Structure 1
């Protein structure tokens, strides 16, 4: 019915959307994604091919998320425009690979992140990789669906929303509420529903910026900024950086029992998983790079509680905060201590660890408490994005590491919905690298009653692979160790 509506004019692009549109256009960034592993009754695939099931579910998802039916026009313009596509061809958007879903997903996820993302006139700004796994039993089949997209149409929470909507569509297909695709050749190309785009971030909140905050940011960005010789942020941004950089990926997953024990401990210590991860990484950096004592973090977070958007809405509604860490015995004012009592064991379960985790949570709570004086609110003052992006080449990176946690997605596991219900118990959030990105980028996502997966992304030439592997293997061990304390 929605496809029969009269043409609805699309709203203008917002500041955050324009930022991401041009960042991709100048090849400073590529894409990010959220992947979920689905278990479905074998009967669903007995009468339908996997492609037929994927296309039928995608057809329903497209009805729920209007931004998935658009592309962008005039990427390099000051005000690029959203253009609704007349049709989408799922055969050009969906790639099927064979994989062992019980093992690491990193190889094929990394390949999906590395694949160039070029905006074209006749395709939407997302791609799907389906990993076909082995049967889990006589009555069940498994496959993973990776949703990889341009950052202008979605943030991490939105990519999670795709998976939740896709799960709903699978269950509607099982229940017969939506029809399956009977002929791939005919049904793979479908009309785009003529739905209005939901409001962008700036249409829902003013993101007010105080004069002192604005002047400080503008001065440090465009005029002069002191360079702290004690601050580690990896190698300089190359003056001729590969754009986008060559992305690498390594992840681990923790069971619900381990995650439950960590949550219990965090609640006891009045902190959170995100804050714990943040202080652990800062403490490990202090050990890995002992000639430096200052480390700046970067924590993106959702502004949906201020915009009124739900976690089911697809769009880009994020800002970020920057906690400062010091391994000095007496940290400067405004810095959180990341000093370990044992320099050889930064994961040591000591009072200083939890003190740092509480301080990190306090910083997160304060930084996410208001829509005022947010970094994203400064985009309204950027008149030349080309100058902004290219001005970063050859400069020092802003942060040492990033921690992004999109939270818990309910994959229907343990919900008592019956054996025929589709479900997922594992999700992975991962991102490609940006030209000026932080050396270590951690992306976290959890499935309710399932696994929490922590992914580390790094760029070739910014970190040595052995540094990244040391960090991610250590972090996995540290979290498991703390869950057993």
Structure 2
């Protein structure tokens, strides 16, 4: 066994441990934010240019030079690496499909991302908790299409917003003058991290208090199998192995603007509308007969940075909680009424602040591994996860520099989590990408495909535009 060479920093926190245990068990693999980098002059993103920018990030963000020790034990620890070799982390792949076939090109990109979502992090203790794939187009970039950069990272390193923070920081670094000039000379791939402190976990930044009523109502779900009503749809029972399959749906800027405008007129949010539309779409393809599916549930992630003093959009870490909503079949016909109800649930959760969150309940869970393994063979509690990162705003190509024209947020399926995940992100004034991720064997292909088609058609209709 190779001796660890990293310097221990602090124990892994509650929510971070939720991901180290799942990664070790292969119950959840990673998160990916893929951004398309462009310049008005179609300048290629060369290795020296990329490495200079990454060096800036690694010397300013301690999360990027952190690894985890003893992930397989009850007491994993974060540690700082003495050096990081970018050659160990950055790979390049070229698409085989011509740029003139956007749908086929997107399908190939989905295949690449699916493969990455099925690839765990190895050499923990010697490598950091992330890697980067530079995906170049098959055809020359004469039209300024740009290149895709997939930032793949361990969920214990950060949540979805952390991936956006990475790309914003990388964009700033690419557009900042290098003190050594912008020549194509060889750049040292080895970075020596400064001794920056790793910020505390969420529970060290805010109080995650739990009321007695909340504790007793939900504590049972952490200690034993949840009893799921017979008519509640949540996919197939919890099972292994985990094989991730993803598909990205891209909504053009006109549809996005129409959806945002409609939500404003109706007094609700895009996240709430997505939950409502998805509930109706799945009920539309799930038969009432047979199993008699009469209810399903959606969950939505809430960013906790708003409650952390000094935190902002560039703060890295796992700083989230989630809120569920149960939907009855008959009630989903009026999509705006459902959206407003979902919005009210999310609003009440935000108003409650850091009190009574599902994340706060983790302090009562003593054995994470036993909890996860005990779920195998049981029915899952929730049906559909909606995780909306909102809008990536820092995307302008300033003074002929780099910009981001598209972003895709994708994540591993969770063996014990929802049956399907819809991960959403938009760029300012541009497209919205919805990535559908599912564990193979959990949802019938016809059901999932039909629901996704209905979801896509419904959003276009609600936007009031024709494609």
TM-score of the alignment, normalized to the shorter chain, above 0.5: yes
SS in 1 for 2:385: strand
Partner residue, 1:218 = 219
**1:56 touches 1:179 (CA, 8 Å); kept in 2?**
no
CA drift of 1:78 comes to 3.0
How has the CA–CA distance of structure 1 residues 83 and 321 changed in structure 2, closer, same or farther, with 3 Å as cutoff? same
How has the CA–CA distance of structure 1 residues 285 and 41 changed in structure 2, closer, same or farther, with 3 Å as cutoff? closer
CA drift of 1:283 comes to 0.9
Which of 360, 376, 389 is residue 406 of structure 1 equivalent to? 389
Q: Gapped runs of 5+ residues in structure 1?
A: 1-6, 329-336, 341-351
SS in 2 for 1:469: helix
Which of 271, 275, 297 is residue 272 of structure 2 equivalent to? 275
Matched, 1:153 2:135: no
Moved more, 62-71 or 111-120: 111-120
RMSD over equivalenced CA pairs, Å: 2.1
Structure 1 CA distance for aligned equivalents of residues 180 and 27 of structure 2: 40
CA drift of 1:368 comes to 2.4
Query: 1:385-407: per-residue Cα shift (whole Å, max 9, x none)?
Result: 11111111111111111000011
**2:222 touches 2:365 (CA, 8 Å); kept in 1?**
no
Structure 1 CA distance for aligned equivalents of residues 452 and 179 of structure 2: 44
Partner residue, 2:3 = none
Matched, 1:445 2:425: yes
How has the CA–CA distance of structure 1 residues 120 and 192 changed in structure 2, closer, same or farther, with 3 Å as cutoff? same
**1:250 touches 1:469 (CA, 8 Å); kept in 2?**
no
Partner residue, 2:339 = 357
Structure 2 CA distance for aligned equivalents of residues 180 and 397 of structure 1: 53
* Equivalence map 1:284-433=2 (5 Å): 284-289=281-286, 290=288, 291-308=292-309, 309-328=311-330, 337-338=331-332, 340=333, 352-369=334-351, 370-413=353-396, 417-418=398-399, 420-433=400-413
Partner residue, 1:34 = 33
Partner residue, 1:258 = 255
Matched, 1:91 2:71: no
Matched, 1:58 2:58: no
Matched, 1:466 2:443: no
Structure 2 CA distance for aligned equivalents of residues 399 and 480 of structure 1: 26
How has the CA–CA distance of structure 1 residues 145 and 224 changed in structure 2, closer, same or farther, with 3 Å as cutoff? closer
**1:8 touches 1:195 (CA, 8 Å); kept in 2?**
no
CA drift of 1:178 comes to 6.1
Query: 1:181-219: per-residue Cα shift (whole Å, max 9, x none)?
Result: 8554x6112212221112321111111011221122222
**2:284 touches 2:451 (CA, 8 Å); kept in 1?**
no
CA drift of 1:10 comes to 2.5
Partner residue, 2:66 = 70
CA drift of 1:455 comes to 0.8
CA drift of 1:57 comes to 1.4
CA drift of 1:76 comes to 2.9
SS in 2 for 1:158: helix
**1:425 touches 1:449 (CA, 8 Å); kept in 2?**
no
SS in 1 for 2:247: strand
TM-score, normalisation: structure 1: 0.87
Structure 2 CA distance for aligned equivalents of residues 456 and 408 of structure 1: 18
CA drift of 1:135 comes to 4.3
**1:250 touches 1:472 (CA, 8 Å); kept in 2?**
no
Structure 2 CA distance for aligned equivalents of residues 227 and 162 of structure 1: 39
CA drift of 1:317 comes to 0.2
* Equivalence map 1:98-247=2 (5 Å): 98-99=94-95, 102=102, 103-104=105-106, 105-133=109-137, 134-137=139-142, 140=144, 142-172=146-176, 175-177=177-179, 179-180=181-182, 184=186, 187-223=188-224, 225-238=226-239, 241-242=240-241, 245-247=242-244
CA drift of 1:19 comes to 1.8
Q: Gapped runs of 5+ residues in structure 2?
A: 1-5
SS in 2 for 1:95: strand
Moved more, 473-482 or 202-211: 473-482
**1:400 touches 1:438 (CA, 8 Å); kept in 2?**
yes
**2:223 touches 2:365 (CA, 8 Å); kept in 1?**
no
TM-score, normalisation: structure 2: 0.90
Structure 2 CA distance for aligned equivalents of residues 83 and 412 of structure 1: 33
**How many residue pairs align between the two structures?**
445
Structure 1 CA distance for aligned equivalents of residues 185 and 65 of structure 2: 22
**1:69 touches 1:193 (CA, 8 Å); kept in 2?**
no
* Equivalence map 1:6-45=2 (5 Å): 10-40=9-39, 42=41, 44-45=43-44
Matched, 1:478 2:447: no
Query: 1:418-471: per-residue Cα shift (whole Å, max 9, x none)?
Result: 2x2110111000011122232221000011121110110111111233322222
Moved more, 25-34 or 108-117: 108-117
CA drift of 1:180 comes to 5.0
